[in-house]
Structure 1
Amino acid sequence: MDRRAFLNDSIGAVASMGLPSHALPLSPPGETGAIGTTHLMELRAGLHSLYQLDDAYGGGDVRSLAVRHLRRVRRVINTAQFPDTIGRQLHLLAGETAEHCGWLYFDADDQEQARGYWGEALTTATMLRDANLEVLIFSSMSLQACYEGRPRDGLDLARAAQVRATKHGSPILQSVVAGREARALSLLEDGKTARRRLTSARKLVERDHHGRPAPEWTAFHGHAELNFLQGLYYSDIGHHSAAAQFLRAALIHQEASYGRNRALYRLTLAKSLVDAGEVDEGAAHAVGSLEHLEEVESGRVMRRLTEVTGALRAVDSVSAHEAAEELREYAQAKEAA
């Protein structure tokens, strides 16, 4: 069974976890016809399930489910009765779901759609004056700006997020944003400040048990992510052997449930190895990553696959050219499917 069929068939299997489906209505309203805490919990469980599916399979196929869930939340807001306290939480959930739609479109490499959903989410965050949602949106937009070759914008967005994250008081949240700052700084060739922010990000993770609890969306952040960011930093400054060491550590420490990240990490490691002159090992990792890609639909990962293919083609090596051809054929078959 292919990935798309699996996702479609999985909706019923994980419905008990709250995965949104129009065939699965919310619990009936109360005696007064009002929406209450139970309904809010069901809708929030749906968003939680979308986070899990994204971690495992990437944004390509999951985004349509997220859009359906956002429509459901909007429908409840605009047609149901509820007290003001529940209303605020519903609006917040709509903003968080819109942000996640933006993230999923970003991962699928549909950047215009991502911007549209993030704009909607930011409007909600501003209306509610919710700093946590603003941190989430600005940090996501920072990552997109760096991805699109706009590191100055990425740095400004990350710093705006950091101001709000500091007020929130969660060390993990501040660490996530420090990592986004470091990424932008390394792309701006400010290596000294980038190293300082990466050091801060690591120290903040060690303070996990101090301050306020981290928001749910930061669950991905830990030693694997920090090693990945350190690897990207060394790659940006041309120290490819050092980059490969950190990327190996990132791959080793990444949990199996993060299928998309494992595919991205392994392809990034493959490119660093090729750039470091370890062509055979790099080619082996590149070809080995195809097994992970069978389960993942992510435009960002496919873009990295293209970069690795180009790096292998540029090397005067039979094994590299054979690996590059295998990657090219896989990409063509995946696109055709």
Structure 2
Amino acid sequence: MDETPTPFARECAARGWDHPAAFLRAFESTAVLVGEEVAVTDRQFRRWRQAGPPRPRPRAWRVLHAMFGVSPLDLGFPGPEPSATVEASPSTMEEVNVDRRAFVADSLGAAASLAVGSSDAVGTAHILELSEGLRSLYTLDDAYGGGDVRSLAVRHLRRVRRVINTGSYPDTIGRQLQLLAGETAEQCAWLYYDADDQDTARRYWGEALTTATMLRDAGLEILVLASLSMQASYEGRPRDGYDLARAAHQRAVSLGSPVLLSLIASREARALTLMRDQSSARKRLADSMRMVDRGDRGRPAPEWAAFHGHAELDYAQGLLYTEAGHHTAAVPFLRAALAHQDRTYGRNRALYRLTLARGLVQAGEVDESAAEAVGSLEHLEEVESGRVTRRLAEVRDLLASADAASARQAGEELTEYAQQKGDG
């Protein structure tokens, strides 16, 4: 086994920081000096000393740069620099770790630069720029979750509203702007939902539904109703969730998109599962699976439904068995959901892996659960999602109740990570 010290380990030793306590003290004092509110743990220091270390977060990156006087790239950490301009697309998000805020600054730059005054005419170019900003928010959410992205979405919504209220445009452009405002409000709602701020999410969904009603736009109305169904089930209101999904289904039939109907059917199945109507839930989930397999025969699904597919349905099947108490039966579906999930969906991969860890410990596979739980920390490095944080706490509590050395060790690592995440 190669024992050659890494560049980072060599530089730490040269400065007398080769012991965790010494390094953490130096890091803390440097962070205070440069005004960065960030802390590291023994575990992070150990991982940084190993070959192929994870990329530090931007605040930690800046502290390391100040400590050593050289870029962390020269210490063996992967790039890019947090301040670097990074061009990324959904197809490459899994290959490049991108600072969330640097990436969104690039993605939304054109839309942010709009300063439409009362004498400025708004045209198709403005619509395209603002729409591109919204698509960038979708990409960021898929990769990183709603925690950091939500404030950016709110700012984008303000831009759209400013254009609406200060610009000059014909009615055709005005309708497109209003629809864009509704779609952006819906995205704000989703991001706050993912961050587990349900009251704020409900307010933005209400705004989006008002816009959909005003414009009589079926697509936006279906999206909001399906989203409200999901939220209702998440909050323990499955009857509301079912009724909202049925309302979305009634409006979606005429659109002729099998994938959209499959997504809505899966929301119905989730609500029925929580209502303890397992027979109806299984039937509706089977309908959902058949419809997604016919996705190429009807109209294409809307862009926002691109995430829906076999991974999502495997996950739904696993949750159905979990709610019924059949934890051993749930595990293969949860494992398949993780295996099938596209790597561009970083937040979903983190959630799926933690849910698999939960299912394993509930099925009595404690050692494997502990391994999956610790392994999930790799996915969490760049994810900010309240739903994922809640699932992490569930897994930690379940492991704490298991009488096994692997469970205790994993529980300690999860606790340490959660504390560091809260402090950072």
Q: Fold match, TM over 0.5?
A: yes
Contact 1:174/1:204 (CA < 8 Å) preserved in 2? yes
State the partner residue of 1:25: 114
1:281 to 364, 368, 375: 368
State the partner residue of 1:272: 359
State the partner residue of 1:8: 101
State the partner residue of 1:188: 275
- Per the TM alignment, residue 33 of structure 1 is displaced from its structure 2 partner at its CA by 3.6
Alpha-carbon separation, structure 2, partners of 1:177 and 1:15: 31
Alpha-carbon separation, structure 2, partners of 1:156 and 1:15: 37
2:242 to 139, 155, 175: 155
- Per the TM alignment, residue 250 of structure 1 is displaced from its structure 2 partner at its CA by 0.6
Matches for 1:1-337 after TM superposition, within 5 Å: 1-2=56-57, 6-15=99-108, 20-21=111-112, 24-25=113-114, 33-337=120-424
Which residue identity lines up with residue 190 of structure 1 in the other structure? D
Which residue identity lines up with residue 264 of structure 1 in the other structure? L
**Change over 3 Å in CA distance of 1:140–1:14 after alignment to 2:** same
**Change over 3 Å in CA distance of 1:15–1:88 after alignment to 2:** closer
**Change over 3 Å in CA distance of 1:288–1:188 after alignment to 2:** same
Q: Mean Cα displacement is larger for which, 261-270 or 75-84?
A: 75-84
- Per the TM alignment, residue 9 of structure 1 is displaced from its structure 2 partner at its CA by 2.1
Corresponding pairs, count: 330
TM-score, length of structure 1 as denominator length? 0.94
Contact 1:3/1:294 (CA < 8 Å) preserved in 2? no
Alpha-carbon separation, structure 1, partners of 2:347 and 2:372: 15
Contact 1:205/1:222 (CA < 8 Å) preserved in 2? yes
Alpha-carbon separation, structure 1, partners of 2:220 and 2:264: 13
Contact 1:283/1:319 (CA < 8 Å) preserved in 2? yes
- The DSSP-based 3-state class of the residue aligned with 1:315 is coil
Contact 2:108/2:132 (CA < 8 Å) preserved in 1? no
Alpha-carbon separation, structure 2, partners of 1:104 and 1:92: 18
- Gaps of at least 5 residues in structure 2 are 1-55, 60-81, 83-98
Contact 1:3/1:296 (CA < 8 Å) preserved in 2? no
- The DSSP-based 3-state class of the residue aligned with 1:277 is coil
Alpha-carbon separation, structure 2, partners of 1:324 and 1:165: 45
- Per the TM alignment, residue 3 of structure 1 is displaced from its structure 2 partner at its CA by 6.4
CA deviation vs aligned residue, 1:112-165 (integer Å, no higher than 9, x gap): 100110010010001011111111111111111111111111111111111111
Which residue identity lines up with residue 323 of structure 1 in the other structure? A
Larger Rg: 2
Contact 2:242/2:268 (CA < 8 Å) preserved in 1? yes
**Change over 3 Å in CA distance of 1:314–1:199 after alignment to 2:** same
- Gaps of at least 5 residues in structure 1 are none
Which residue identity lines up with residue 335 of structure 1 in the other structure? G
Q: Mean Cα displacement is larger for which, 288-297 or 141-150?
A: 141-150
Alpha-carbon separation, structure 2, partners of 1:206 and 1:292: 29
CA deviation vs aligned residue, 1:169-221 (integer Å, no higher than 9, x gap): 11111111101110010011000110111111111111112222211000100
C-alpha root-mean-square deviation of aligned residues, in Å? 1.6
Alpha-carbon separation, structure 2, partners of 1:61 and 1:112: 18
Alpha-carbon separation, structure 1, partners of 2:324 and 2:152: 39
Which residue identity lines up with residue 127 of structure 1 in the other structure? M
- The DSSP-based 3-state class of the residue aligned with 1:220 is coil
- Per the TM alignment, residue 15 of structure 1 is displaced from its structure 2 partner at its CA by 4.5
Alpha-carbon separation, structure 2, partners of 1:242 and 1:46: 42
Contact 2:318/2:330 (CA < 8 Å) preserved in 1? yes
Alpha-carbon separation, structure 2, partners of 1:147 and 1:3: 33
Which residue identity lines up with residue 90 of structure 1 in the other structure? L
Which residue identity lines up with residue 199 of structure 1 in the other structure? A
Alpha-carbon separation, structure 1, partners of 2:356 and 2:314: 11
Q: Mean Cα displacement is larger for which, 154-163 or 292-301?
A: 154-163
